Amino acid sequence: SKNRVKERLKGDSIFVRWKEVVGEELAAATRVVRCAAGVLTVEVSSAPLLNELATYRKNEILRSVQSLEEFRGIREIRFKAGSS
């Protein structure tokens, strides 16, 4: 039913839509671990990629996130080493 679809859409979170924001390739090497108080914490599987994202692509990714209306409240992205 229409209502169910609406509910599902409302339930979409940055965890679910991360791939849509950064693309398949980046999504495969990263994982959103936390979203609180306007800060998005993302685990990155490789050190070189972590460096690239934190240094060169942070603003670009933040803009992509903020371009989705429901994630406008995210003001900062923190990348950290992880083990995907």
pLDDT in tens, 15-34: 989 999 999 999 999 999 99
Rounded distance, CA 82 to CA 68, Å? 26
CB 20 within 8 A of CB 61: no
41 compared with 10, residue with greater pLDDT: 41
State both tokens at 75: 């003001």
What pTM was estimated for this model as a whole? Answer: 0.82
Tell me the pLDDT tens digit for each residue of 41-70.
Answer: 999 999 999 999 999 999 999 999 999 998
First-to-last alpha carbon distance for the chain, in angstroms, is: 36
A 10 A CB-CB count for 65 gives 23
List CB contacts of 72: < 8 A, sequence separation 6 or more.
66
